[in-house]
Structure 1
Amino acid sequence: MNDTTSLRYNDEPVLLAFAFRPFFLLTALYAASLVAAWFAFLFGGLPLPLGVNPIQWHAHELLFGMVPAAIAGFLLTAMCNWTGAPPLKGSGLLALVLLWAAGRAAMWLSGWLPLWLVATIDLAFLPAMAAYVARVLLRHGNYRNLVLVALLVLLAGADLSMHLGFSGFWPPGGRLGEILALDLIAAIMVVVGGRITPAFTANWLGMQGQDPALVRRSEVLDRAAFWSTVAMVPVDLAMSFPVPASLIALIAALVNGWRLLAWRGWKASAEPLIWILHVALGWIVVALLLKAMTPWLALSPSVWMHAMGAGAAGTLILGVMTRVAMGHTGRPMRLPRMAIWIYVAIITAGLVRVIAAFVPQLAYPGLSVSTVAWVVAFLLFVLIYWPILSRPRADGRPG
């Protein structure tokens, strides 16, 4: 096989051999370009053809542009392991990628296109992915993971809410959709993190000659962590009960924190590919605590929202992508040279962004540092992982 010409495997481009390949690269490229353009728009006067509220456009593209691409890369890959089903590849995968890209183009050109058309194009991706995932899971009797399909459908509903706000048909929908999206993304991270983090930690401890049983897993605690997080959705949907919302966020923080401590992440502090997952899930706990404190300390909602978005989602996305890209391309399960700076940069971006939300006087310098760190993190992923994701597997297997 000649990987110096068109990089094909079985007559298909390598980039279309498995969903994680194109979607991980697109996630990183879009994350970097979106935040850089947003900063240039805010402070450099970069003209953007936006027909919607700029702040909510920024939130929308992170929550419904970047994050769903990362979810697609992970979920469409992981479910092959869960079910034994063949991967979505070739023209089918290309169609899904183009559907995602069409939504991004429509949102960037929302000032030139009718808003109903923008909404129609953008809203197509999540239902299409959910329908495909549901069909595969049902065909193989994998009912346990249908909860992720339900969360994707609800996430599409949050996207619809934002578009109703953009159009003026339902003005509160913009803000509500943003909050519900963060709630649902938190729930997805709780599910995904609960599946992979303790398993990877226990396996690593076993390979180091330590007792894997140090990682204490509990189905009861897993269910409590999930349902306490999901319970924020109906309360936030009401939009007028800050005290119950605060209490539920506090319960979710305590349960998720208890579960995370039971996994003994510090025992794997020598392995970056594992401790970064624990850090990401720790961000969820911090974000939930900040959400619980918001009405009592009169905090700006921006604080907990950026802790959940820039902190938890940004860190977990890079943590998962850096690991999956190695394991699913037949390479040794270790962080490539210089890739540790991806983690340093994304942790810096999250911390500084939350501090800037806490202290309005630090808004400009904080946004500047956070933007640079965020862009560096995702561009480093592209630079380091492009050769890995665009070339055939190192072990010669398909995929």
Structure 2
Amino acid sequence: MSAFIRLLGEGFRVFFLSAGLYAVAAIGLWLVWLTTPLTLPTAAPPADWHAHEMVFGYGAAALGGFFLTAVPNWTGAKAARHVFIGAAAAIWLAGRIAVAWSGHLPPALVAAADLAFLPVLGAKIATQLIRRPKPQNVMFLALLAILWAANLSVHLEWTGVTGDTARRGLYAGLYLLAAMIAVLGGRITPAFTRNAMTRTGREAGLPRSFAPLDAVAIATAIALPVATLAALPEAVTGAIALVGGAAQIARLAFWRPGFTWGQPILWSLHLSFALVGLGLVLTGLAAFGLGNPVAAVHLLAIGGVGGMTLAVMSRASLGHSGRPLIAPRPVAIAYLCLPLAGLSRWAASTFAVLYLPATLTAGVLWTAAFVLYVAALWPVFWGPRLPAERGAP
């Protein structure tokens, strides 16, 4: 089997690699634009292009890799074949190219290219979920639909159909990624921690979850992007974010984060989940005039969403390729870079005098994290799965 065919053989390979490469390319270009006279060929303002591509470019690739890998495991359905994975990756890439060159393309064509990926992904996982249609899994189709609606809101303004929906769409898209983490991270973080603890022989003091708390945390996390798209009053969205963030942090307190020190593959999940909660709390406070909303959003996006997607992509790539679930040193360093990048970007918006140096620092740290991730896991994405006796149990 050629390396290229192998790359398209499993969803995590091509999409997690694409997410890592695009994380480097998009932020690298953004840093160049900030520091040089470069003019980007996008029709949208550069700041909007930057926000859009982090959510609907990088974020969508991470989701694609996750769902194409996880859903067959949940349902026992056949995994997507090479042809579909290759076609889906091409559609995702076409969207990135169209948005990047939107200044030279018809707006409707840009919108069609960029909006195509999520329906294709959703249709595929729907055919897999129908085999075992559990409500807790089928709900992800609704979440993908909300993410698509957020992107549609952006393109409606970019094509001139509406006059004020792009900003709502960008924020709603980010909040939807945070909601995905509230649901998925709320499952895997305590589960992976519990598994690690039981492997050491522990039978008491394991992570605990409480249904009422989980319900509040998940409901508010999902309500936030919906309320944002619906243009509800800022006080309403702020209250939802505040309650949702506090609920995420409360959940984490019962998941035994102290056990994870010394295990980057675990503490990266806990730290990122905490930053999702903190980012939502700061977003809620900013809605009531307490703090800078841009600072809050960047902490949520970089430290929370960026950190969790990196943690999940690296762990899944190791596990599904037969490698031990131990983060390589470069990846462990990458786990540290993203929270620091989030804090630096928060400082950039909080203290005007620090804006440019702190923004550049955040960009360099983000770029370094994903360079380390791609370099360390390059053999994983392109190489064969390890034999069972050499890989993870």
The bucket for the TM-score relative to the shorter chain is over 0.9
- d(CA) in 2 for partners of 1:55, 1:281: 26
Contact in 2 for aligned 1:32/1:378 (Cα 8 Å): yes
Match of 2:107?
A: 115
Residues 1-399 of structure 1 mapped to structure 2, 5 A cutoff: 6-7=2-3, 13-211=5-203, 213-239=205-231, 241-297=233-289, 299-395=291-387
Shift of 1:232: 1.8
The alignment of Structure 1 onto Structure 2 pairs a total of residues equal to 389
Shift of 1:253: 1.6
Q: Secondary structure at the match of 1:24?
A: helix
TM-score (norm. length: structure 2): 0.95
Identical-pair percentage: 37
Shift of 1:91: 0.9
Contact in 2 for aligned 1:82/1:142 (Cα 8 Å): no
- d(CA) in 1 for partners of 2:351, 2:135: 46
Shift of 1:33: 0.6
Bigger shift: 130-139 or 57-66?
130-139
- d(CA) in 1 for partners of 2:55, 2:305: 9
Contact in 1 for aligned 2:150/2:229 (Cα 8 Å): no
CA RMSD of aligned residues (A): 1.6
Give 5+ residue unaligned stretches, structure 1: none
Shift of 1:298: 5.2
Contact in 2 for aligned 1:345/1:377 (Cα 8 Å): yes
Contact in 2 for aligned 1:205/1:268 (Cα 8 Å): no
- d(CA) in 2 for partners of 1:267, 1:77: 28
Shift of 1:375: 0.4
Give 5+ residue unaligned stretches, structure 2: none
The verdict on how the C-alpha distance between 1:81 and 1:212 changes in structure 2, with shifts beyond 3 A counting, is: farther
Contact in 1 for aligned 2:19/2:59 (Cα 8 Å): yes
Amino acid at match of 1:86: K
Q: Secondary structure at the match of 1:45?
A: coil
TM-score (norm. length: structure 1): 0.94
Amino acid at match of 2:23: A
Amino acid at match of 1:196: I
Shift of 1:15: 0.5
Contact in 2 for aligned 1:331/1:395 (Cα 8 Å): no
Contact in 1 for aligned 2:77/2:131 (Cα 8 Å): no
